[in-house]
Amino acid sequence: MVTTANTTSPELTWGGMMVDKVHPWWTPLNSWAYIPDVESIVEVYGEMYGILHDPVGRGWMAHRATLGAQPYHWDEVMANYWRPWLERVSADVGIGVERPDGS
């Protein structure tokens, strides 16, 4: 995986590499986006090509990706993040949240 070095990408690029951000751009959605550096993209893809064609490098990258993704198992995300957020929002707007088990 190749991502840009901004927003959540540094925390979520476990088995890949990041390219440099260069030009900030204010989007119509009222948030910043960045146009990545083209030379950095070329360098990172070259490096990734070398790593992925080496069995040891490929194994290392796969291992890092697997370890990084483990906390994001669907049940974990639902229980620890999504459900509490839905309950907080429903309390704010005055509606209940029906649980999948009907309770």
Contact 1, 47 (CB under 8 A): no
Rounded distance between C-alpha atoms, residue 4 and residue 23, angstroms: 12
Amino acid at 77: V
Mean pLDDT of 78-103: 79
pLDDT, tens digit (0-9, with 9 covering 90-100), for 31-60? 888 888 889 899 999 999 999 999 999 999
pTM for the full predicted model:
0.60
